[in-house]
Structure 1
Amino acid sequence: MKAELDYSRGPEKTWVYGGLRPADGQALTMTASSRNSVFYQQCLQQIEDANPSGEIWIVTDNLSSHNSLSTRTWLEDHPRIHHAFIPVGACWLNLQEGWWRIFRKAALAGRSFADRDDIEHATTLATNQLNSRANPWIWGRPTSPTRLLRRRYAYTVRGTQH
């Protein structure tokens, strides 16, 4: 089941953009009134500002704003940022998707918001709380814990003599 991206009540919609740095689990979020190239580029700029050195790889879906002419032109002026587009229908390849599930539960689940400012406040608060206890994100299942006091039994089968 897909979660709706509309977090507001009434005619105004609010979109939440974000990025996850898997190495330390820190995330960045921003709210926007539209899901278009302009706001996507603003999010990319915030991600670049938060990561002042080295290359930045953005793993993203194939939304039109992520690959628009405007965004590609913007990226030419920001050579540290590279896109890796995930295949259609394979969102589970993006580590950010797990973070979004946790974020939605912390910030948005079961809540009604009066206006866009309330959504922005909830987004900022939840992001700060999640970042305060962030850990590295690793793709895949964690290894099973070892049992230290495991008893080992050895059974021997003896033949019976007649």
Structure 2
Amino acid sequence: MRNGTAKLLTLFHPASGAVRVQGVTSCRNPVLHGWLKAELCAILAARPAPPEPVSVAANRACWERWQEGLSQPITLSAALPPLRLLLVMDNLTGHKTPSFVCWLFDHGIMPLYTPLGGSWLNMTESVQRILKRRGLAGQHPTTPDAIIAALEAAAQGWNAAPTPFVWGGRRSDRRHRRRQRQHALGGSGACTRRPLPRPRPTVLQQWRSAGQVTH
């Protein structure tokens, strides 16, 4: 029986593995933006103050370098503070609300949106799956409050010994070594694990390649 929906607002720091969560029953923009602003302010308060930029042009270049190659770059504010934080989010309309984006700029936060259909690039999706399995596997909650309590408890246990996330890692190294052990076939996408034997040149072909053929 469906008695309601539980959602998990999540902020994830891949370098440390720390996660900030809050369970809610509604994820409208006022709820999401209010929670994000409070958590981001707490994160910035715990970080050291940024050094003053050398010049306005150098500071703006620091912001613009994160938009290189984007087909639809964000219009930056005219006056920008020092860049302090990068915030990766899904490409949703609510994340692009002008008032929210301007608030991010005013606090030195650069929003970066994953491509459409590329939510797997957002590591928060990965840690949410882990928390869901840890909190709900083998359980049978009957209310949204029970689901929220289980997910928040799983996040608290995760933060007791967080695991940093990095791109690549040992799995990437194994895939790279595996590709090195494969041999492409005629420039196609197919490969073999053993190189195909090549016909040995005849004595006449060897002479021709060496320019020693006489008539």
TM above 0.5, yes or no, is yes
Superposition deviation, residue 140 in structure 1: 1.7
Structure 1 residue 113, shift from structure 2 partner: 2.4
Partner residue, 2:213: none
Q: Residue 130 of structure 1 is aligned with which of 131, 134, 158?
A: 158
CA deviation profile, 1:24-53 (whole Å, cap 9, x unmatched) = 100011112212211221331224314422
SS in structure 1 at match of 2:8: strand
* One-letter amino acid of the counterpart of residue 89, structure 1: G
| Bigger mean CA offset, 101-110 vs 121-130 | 101-110
The root-mean-square deviation of aligned C-alpha atoms, in Å, is: 2.3
Q: Higher helix proportion, which one? A: 2
CA contact (8 A) 1:58 1:81 kept: yes
Q: Which runs of 5+ in 1 are unaligned?
A: 1-7, 145-162
Q: Which has the larger radius of gyration?
A: 2
Distance 1:62 1:102 in 2: 22
Task: State whether structure 2 residue 9 is matched by structure 1 residue 17.
Answer: yes
C-alpha distance in structure 1 between counterparts of 2:135 and 2:5, whole Å: 16
**Greater RCO (Cα-Cα under 8 Å, separation 6 or more):** 1
Q: Give secondary structure in 2 for the equivalent of 1:89.
A: coil
Question: Structure 2 CA distance, aligned partners of 1:133 and 1:89?
Answer: 31
Q: Does 1:91 align with 2:119?
A: yes
CA separation in 2, counterparts of 1:119 and 1:47?
25
Number of residue pairs matched by the alignment? 135
Partner of 1:68: 97
**SS of equivalent to 1:35:** coil
- SS, match of residue 41 in structure 1: helix
2:39 corresponds to 1:46: yes
Contact 1:62 / 1:88 at 8 angstroms: preserved in 2? Answer: yes
> 1:9/1:70 Cα in 2 relative to 1: closer, same or farther (>3 Å)?
farther
Shift of 1:73: 4.7
